[in-house]
Amino acid sequence: MLNEKMLALGSNRSTIRELFEYGKMRAAIVGAENIYDFSLGNPSVPSPPEVNEAIRAILAEEPSIAVHGYTSAVGDNNARDAIADNLNRRFGTSYTRDNLYLTCGAAASLICAFRALITGDDSEIISIAPFFPEYRAFVESNGGIFTLIPADTENFQIRFDLLGEAISEKTKAVIINSPNNPSGVIYSEETIKSLAALLTEKSEQAGHPIYLISDEPYRELVYSDKKAPFTANYYKNTIICYSYSKSLSLPGERIGYVLIPNEADNRIDLFNAVAGAGRGSGYVCAPSLMQRVIARCSDVMPDISSYRKNRDFLYNALTDIGYECADPSGAFYLFVKAPNGDADCFAEIAKKYDLLLVSGKDFGCDSFFRAAYCVDYDMIVRSIPSFKKAYDEAVNRS
Ligand code: PLP
């Protein structure tokens, strides 16, 4: 007898992975240069040079038994000190290592946060469409209820009327992701302030904190003057889940952190519950070499110029054709309205022109598709005639 939830998760491949595999199959037939694959959110710029320099220096300077050994369960002091210093300088906070629990990327951070809060079958975590589909898997496989608030398809902010109605006593947390995958939109300061006010009011009504889990792997990938507001400065019961996967192009190295702010209610217990969730999930002691890299590179910022160049070209080319896009202020995704209003159907039409796009259905927004522009610039240029043909076919059919 197997765990049915785990069996289902392991047996069903994600739509994005299927599309990626399909692309490889088509490439073998028509040639890789004729496939326009916008499916995966895998960074296309190399890690900043400081990262490899740090790795070389660590290997040269530190004893290998230490470099490859266990660190303390919560993470190395030097790395946590460096992260706290960086955040304090940028966001006017006063964190120390004691606010930080190092993990294996944002996925592990999120699971630690969910597991720390889910207390039984009626524990609910609410997210807002469009959303990162793994949230559902993470919450449900850890015994919680996952609820999704429909998208604001005009501005991709938050439909507070619907969120306000949905929050109840069983709600443990609301999870947000800004800059957002898949929309590329950044929540405005006004949105974060309204969210903080709503959660404060609802926490009082419920008689317990309703946490804000802020999933921020794209925090540093911003193309407008308006930076993503630092959520913990607006709402005390925030749990920040961060990752270096996108900012330092290190997705395979599995390094990130959970941050519990000083102001959070029962801060020590909350931190210990997160650490306990890490222990219970076997995530203790994030990769040791990467912890050392972060200790040396916490101030390194990504060079986002190629993403910006890709974004500008793709956005302009698509809007010239007639597509409508969400405001692409951050991350590396364009979220585009399907010209026929049905993203599943449009993604199939696009495939005929070897254009691999992800339908927004899995993201909770079925009239939009996602194009990840963390790809080769020349491929984007070559793909535009296919975007035009797919657009014309979709419009003619509808
Ligand atoms: N959250 C969001 C919104 C993401 O887009 C991703 C990865 O694409 C993750 C979390 C997981 O990130 P990590 O690779 O650090 O586990």
Task: Find out whether the beta carbon of 245 lies less than 6 Å from any atom of ligand 1.
Answer: yes
Residue of 17, 104, 132, 183 to test ligand 1 pocket, by largest number of atoms within 8 Å of CB = 132
CA 157–ligand 1 middle distance (angstroms): 20
Phi-psi label, residue 285: left if phi above 0, alpha if psi -120 to 50, beta otherwise: left
Question: Tokens at residue 323, please?
Answer: 């597509």
Q: How confident is the model at residue 15 (pLDDT cuts 50, 70, 90)?
A: confident
What integer best gives the mean pLDDT of the chain?
Answer: 96
Predicted pLDDT of residue 18: 86
Structure-token match 């088509």, residue found: 26
pTM here is: 0.97
**From atom 8 of ligand 1, which residue's Cα is the shortest distance away?**
41
Task: Find out whether the beta carbon of 177 lies less than 6 Å from any atom of ligand 1.
Answer: yes
pLDDT at 13 over 80: no
Q: How far apart are CA 215 and CA 238, in angstroms?
A: 10
CA 42–ligand 1 middle distance (angstroms): 10
CATH architecture of the domain with residue range 50-297? 3-Layer(aba) Sandwich (3.40)
Q: How far apart are CA 315 and CA 338, in angstroms?
A: 14
- The proportion of the chain whose per-residue pLDDT surpasses 70, expressed as a percent, equals 100
Q: Over the stretch 330-378, which tens digit does the pLDDT of each residue have?
A: 999 999 999 999 999 999 999 999 999 999 999 999 999 999 999 999 9
DSSP category for residue 321: H
Q: Over the stretch 297-328, which tens digit does the pLDDT of each residue have?
A: 999 999 999 999 999 999 999 999 999 999 99
Q: How far apart are CA 119 and CA 128, in angstroms?
A: 22
Strand pairing report for 145-149 and 124-128: parallel
CA 353–ligand 1 middle distance (angstroms): 29
Task: Find out whether the beta carbon of 180 lies less than 6 Å from any atom of ligand 1.
Answer: no
Q: Over the stretch 78-89, which tens digit does the pLDDT of each residue have?
A: 999 999 999 999
Nearest partner of 222 among 259, 180, 256, judged by Cα = 180
> How many DSSP H helices and E strands does the chain contain?
14, 12
Residue of 47, 243, 250 to test ligand 1 pocket, by largest number of atoms within 8 Å of CB = 243
pLDDT at 12 over 90: no
Task: Find out whether the beta carbon of 256 lies less than 6 Å from any atom of ligand 1.
Answer: yes
Topology (CATH level 3) of domain 4-48+303-397: Aspartate Aminotransferase, domain 1 (3.90.1150)
DSSP category for residue 325: B
pLDDT at 225 over 90: no
Predicted pLDDT of residue 14: 80
- In the chain, what are the domain boundaries? 4-48+303-397, 50-297
